Structure 1
Amino acid sequence: MTELELYKWVQEKSPEWRWQYNDEAKQDDVLILPYSFHFESFSKLVEKGCDEEGIECRIKGDYFAVWMLDICEYFDINIENIFSKGGYNDF
């Protein structure tokens, strides 16, 4: 995945997201909440970054939640180029 591919996906799908402290990573991170019907396109986008352990997410009703920092770092993407620091989208 390239930075441009992720940027376009976020712009097209417009998932809810926000910067938030990630207790496990012990740093600020972006939590995104795409709708469940975006799961397949998101999975295809990040599949090359999945090792045997996969990517952790939480499924909640009609959406799933994913921390983005590790994903962005794996693909050498500057997370702030996708999600403005301190910003949020709808939640």
Structure 2
Amino acid sequence: MDDNLYNLNLDYLLVAKEMIAAGNTHKAQFYLGLPPEAIAILRNMTTKQLKALARSDYLKFSPRFNPSHWQEFMQAQALGADSHEQRAKELLMLLINDNPP
């Protein structure tokens, strides 16, 4: 299994578990797209079990954005795109401000 997929799955499951343990089940359902059945299962899972679940060969979640939303986002970003010179100036200002003399 790809380590990136494992890490993505594990991070997702750990965040879900933390939200549920903190009593934020509605947030876990809304933000993470968890069905109520998953809440009950995750609540009782150990870290060892979460790691084993994360190791399976598929994502534990599905993105809720469809391609038409992605296309709209990319078009909106393209309309507001800065020039290379403007981005270089902004980067230079960030670097100067992070490292005062």
Taking structure 2 as the reference length, the TM-score comes to 0.25
- Higher strand content, 1 or 2: 1
